[in-house]
Chain A
Amino acid sequence: MKFLSIFILFTLAVSLPRAHSADAMKVTMPGVGEERAFPQTQGADLYQAACQACHMPEGVGATAAATYPALAKDPRLKPKAFPITRVLNGSKAMPSFKATLSDEQIVAVVGYVRTHFGNHYSDTISLEDVKALRQ
């Protein structure tokens, strides 16, 4: 995150598209912002970088005070619009990846999850599918 946006946030209270607002953490790092947060292009790599934190290796999910849903053998993934919409818009505590993943990356990662972890939904996802759901 660029310093400039942090500066604006703190001094002018200008609204930002996705203002990181856990204010305690907002110290600026040199060089951050020169490239995408997620440079990966392959589905497996993107899953590891963006999804595995909560949905866990092999998509098994986890439960503690509340639950990160499992994605393994998940019938909800059958209609492709469902996972695409979730990735784009987030849900409850799950963040939106609209601003941090490209259409190509969403095609790759959703395609990966729908064909791994015991999921066998082989109908292809196109860039148009993502574009249509991206508002």
Chain B
Amino acid sequence: MTARFNPPEPQGMKRRDLLQMIGLIAGGSALYNAMTTLGFAADSQYTGPVTLRGAPAGTRIVVLGAGWAGLLAALELRDAGYSVQLLDYNDRIGGRAWSLRGGDVYTEMGGETQRCEFDSGLYVNPGPWRIPYHHRGVLAYARRFNVTLEPFIMVNYNAYVHSSRHFGGKPKRFREVQADFHGHVAELLAKATSKERLDEAVSREDQEKLLAALRSWGALDENYAYRANFDSAERRGYEVNKGGGLMPPPLPSTPIGLQDLLNSNLWEALNSGQIHQWQSTIFQPVGGMDMTPKAIGREIENLITLNAQVKQIKQDERGVTVSYVDSRTGKDARQVRADWCVCTIPLSILSQLDMNVGAPMSAAINALPYESAVKTGLQMKRRFWEEDDAIYGGITFTDLPIQQIAYPNTSYNKPGKGVLLGTFAFGDPALSLTGMSPRLRVQKAVEYGAQIHPQYATEFENGISVAWHRVPGAMGCAAAWDSQLQAAHYDNLAQLDGRIVLAGDHLSRGLTGWQEGAVLSSLDAITRLHKRIVNG
């Protein structure tokens, strides 16, 4: 669907030469802008560091929420010369960019408290856990704050795809399902092509090329059949793998039949790494997703008030008054007076706060339901997925309510313990898991996971579960936009309303639930706010 626009090359000069010249004369960001214009690097709307100049002296801005959007707003507005205060409900910064480690204590709504019992160095990211290569905003701040990244494995050919209702409930390896699905489809297409049933779609001359392509893509034999042989084994794996010396000679494995494969729905998992947000390369910060927010927080520590529960946001002709209490006690009422307000509080909460904005923004705030998600971290006595199953990082997909098992993308091939993501449930099944006590959620994660990895029965030590609808400062995973809601409310939600502007991943198109959505929304919001302040 992408219309490829190729601008004419400047005469007598290659594109690369032109770019080099622009880079030399005008510096990196000009080079980037030029590259974008010429059709490269157009995979992000991040346009480089914001530069806000000419802030009127003494202008006060209150920022609500110390997740990505609020932290960046506070940081960049302070750097621009504004007098900034940042309030957050939690006793920590980072919002949903959060990591749980041994010793952490977490109390969810409903009052149940969990203590994380992980060993030192082990963690789980209950919120965002991956940074795609084209999330240039997040990557730029990670670089600026010297956060070390490592690869996040999205597609692991040796991880499992699992249906509890097919193949006797035994999991299949991703590579087997992919090789067999491609192989069978290639064989079908090859048959149709050679019987000249595709005449209308493919010219005679192209039919031969198509047959060659299908043979290569699907690992077909000389008769365009997909079957057990060394070609298909090179894709799906061997019955007896290659060896040395007098070890037994290799034997190809037997493909799964097309009908069984179609009925199992396992093919649905093949596309997980094909979609733009999940294509390689993807990163994670070494040590936990909260590394970057924490680093930003250290830079602006003196601006931040934690444990501040906002109760009321009132604007008048001259400014904004934010009333808050101590979120731990509900007492100690205080107020912040500022000239302007950047509010990144999730709409699940904002829709219940006393706030005077215009009817269009108010309607937008009240229109959005929030998605459910549940993650459960499980500490295991040994890294059996590596030792026994040769699964290093990546994700297993299943039709069980846990939906995914994700393996740690770090410390590979080391002895000792490890933490699995034992549940990543989303949508309505996640709502059902949320309704359980955290202890039961962990127990279910172990029971379901044991259907795929029987080692759970002996290796499980402890676990912790986060259900996003019960997270006290979030009350939901992410705003559930659809096209009708977008058409009716998106612009109204994003506009500056008097002295208040909203920001956060809920104000992104197609990036809700992504840190990049929060970054781009925040930079856009503060840029517009700054213009309004400077230009009147």
Contacts and interface: CB of A to CB of B under 8 A. Distances in A.
Interface string A4-39: 001100111101111111111111111111100110
A94 interface: yes
Nearest to B277: A23
B404 to A, nearest CB: 7
Contact of A34 (B89, B265, B511): B265
A66 to B, nearest CB: 4
Contacts of A17: 482
Nearest to A13: B483
B186 interface: no
Contacts of B345: 65
Nearest to A25: B426
Interface residues of A, number: 54
Contact of A22 (B89, B109, B426, B429): B426
A24 B128 contact: yes
A11, A23, A29, A54 — most chain B CB neighbours (10 Å): A29
A50 B431 contact: yes
Contacts of A133: none
Interface string B141-182: 000000000000000000001111100000000000000000
Given A68-B109, A93-B348, A95-B370, A24 B435 contact: no
A21 B368 CA distance: 11
A24 B513 contact: yes
B362 to A, nearest CB: 11
A53 B435 contact: yes
A66 B264 CA distance: 43
Contact of A10 (B276, B435, B469, B476): B276
A54 B351 CA distance: 16
Contacts of B271: 3, 6-7, 28
A22 B269 contact: no
A64 B472 contact: yes
A20 B435 contact: no
Q: How many B residues touch the partner, as a band?
A: 35 or more
A93 B369 contact: yes
* Interface core residue of B395, B398, B426, B514 (most chain A CB under 10 Å): B426
B373 to A, nearest CB: 6
A96 interface: yes
B349 A65 contact: yes
A21 B366 contact: no
Contacts of A125: none
B435 A30 contact: no
Most chain A beta-carbon contacts within 10 A, residue among B275, B277, B278, B512: B275
A127 interface: no
Contacts of B161: 30
Contacts of B372: 53
Contact of A16 (B276, B348, B483): B483
A1 to B, nearest CB: 6
B478 A22 contact: yes
Given A50-B431, A66-B475, A92-B351, A29 B327 contact: no
A31 B164 contact: yes
Nearest to A27: B272
B101 to A, nearest CB: 22
Interface in B453-510: 467, 469-470, 472-484, 510
B50 interface: no
Given A7-B271, A24-B128, A53-B431, A65 B481 contact: no
Contacts of B239: none
Contact of B370 (A30, A32, A65, A93): A93
Contact of B510 (A23, A25, A33, A62): A23
A63 B473 CA distance: 10
B180 to A, nearest CB: 14
Interface in B187-229: none
Given A64-B475, A65-B473, A30 B276 contact: no
Contacts of A66: 348-349, 351-353, 475
B309 interface: yes
Nearest to B368: A93
Given A21-B480, A49-B431, A51-B435, 10 more contacts: A1-B427, A6-B271, A29-B269, A31-B164, A32-B429, A34-B165, A49-B435, A57-B110, A90-B369, A93-B347
21 contacts: A10-B275, A19-B481, A19-B482, A20-B480, A21-B478, A22-B479, A23-B277, A24-B277, A26-B426, A30-B162, A30-B397, A30-B398, A31-B163, A31-B265, A38-B428, A66-B349, A68-B475, A92-B369, A93-B368, A94-B369, A95-B370
Interface of A: 1-3, 6-7, 10-13, 15-34, 37-38, 48-54, 56-57, 62-68, 90, 92-96, 100
